[in-house]
Amino acid sequence: MTDELDIQGLIASAIDASKNAYVPYSEYHVGAALLAPDGTVFTGCNVENASYPATICGERTALVKAVSEGQREFTAIAVATKNGGSPCGVCRQMLFEFAPDLRVICCDFEGNVTIDESLRNMLLYGFGPSDLPKPE
Ligand code: THU
């Protein structure tokens, strides 16, 4: 069980990570902080591109950093934006692969929490690894 002290730290890390966002097109800074069961935190920010669809969101930056370093289990993610916005569908799907019961906490840059919800509730009937039949 993640305690509230961890959550406050996670929120602070997400706000901090948002400062590195590369957002010349939208100017919408997103910072994410993903918590592993052992307390390790992986941060990420959105990185935009002149070819707009090549942009990666802050949540996926954090996730890909973590998985590429061998971490595959997560308990919570904090996502910080100016208005406490919610993770996009692509990010929900990618997080669901590894942590369907992830606690998702969205907040603004003052640390005010706008959403505190399980990923399973944010991606109802989500498609995950167990939905794929095993190859013959
Ligand atoms: N963005 C994220 O980083 N995470 C989300 O879940 C929603 C959108 C970014 C992508 C783009 O850089 C900017 O926010 C505006 O869409």
Strands of 27-133, DSSP E: 31-35, 41-45, 76-80, 103-107, 113-118
* 106-126 tens-digit pLDDT: 999 999 999 999 999 999 999
* 42-71 tens-digit pLDDT: 999 999 999 999 999 999 999 999 999 999
Q: Can you give the pLDDT at residue 136?
A: 81
* 90-107 tens-digit pLDDT: 999 999 999 999 999 999
Residue tagged 């904090």 (tokens): 78
- Name the 3-class secondary structure at 83: coil
Q: Can you give the pLDDT at residue 100?
A: 98
pLDDT tier for residue 2 given thresholds of 50, 70 and 90:
low
Catalytic residue from among 4, 59, 117, 136: 59
Cα–Cα distance for residue pair 5/45, rounded to 1 Å: 22
Domain boundaries, the chain: 4-128
Strand order of the β-sheet with 31-35 is: 41-45, 31-35, 76-80, 103-107, 113-118
CA-48 nearest atom, ligand 1 = 12
Q: Over 60: is that where the pLDDT of 1 sits? A: no
CA distances for 11 relative to 65, 68, 118, angstroms: 18, 23, 16
Q: 43, 14 in Cβ contact below 8 A?
A: yes
Mean pLDDT, residues 122-135 taken together: 94
Distance 70 CA to ligand 1 centre (A): 25
> By alpha-carbon position, which residue is closest to atom 13 of ligand 1?
28
Give the binding-site residues of ligand 1, using a 6 Å CB cut-off. 23, 26, 28, 30, 46, 48, 55, 57-59, 87-88, 91
Q: Over 90: is that where the pLDDT of 4 sits? A: no
pLDDT tier for residue 134 given thresholds of 50, 70 and 90:
confident
CA-55 nearest atom, ligand 1 = 12
CA-61 nearest atom, ligand 1 = 3
117 is catalytic: no
Cα–Cα distance for residue pair 99/71, rounded to 1 Å: 11
Q: Can you give the pLDDT at residue 32?
A: 98
Q: Can you give the pLDDT at residue 122?
A: 98
Q: Can you give the pLDDT at residue 5?
A: 67
Domain 4-128: which CATH number of 3.40.140.10, 3.30.1360.70, 1.20.1250.20, 3.50.50.60? 3.40.140.10
Q: Can you give the pLDDT at residue 84?
A: 98
Q: Under 8 Å CB-to-CB from 88, ≥6 apart: which residues?
A: 57
Would strands 31-35 and 76-80 be described as parallel, antiparallel, or unpaired?
antiparallel
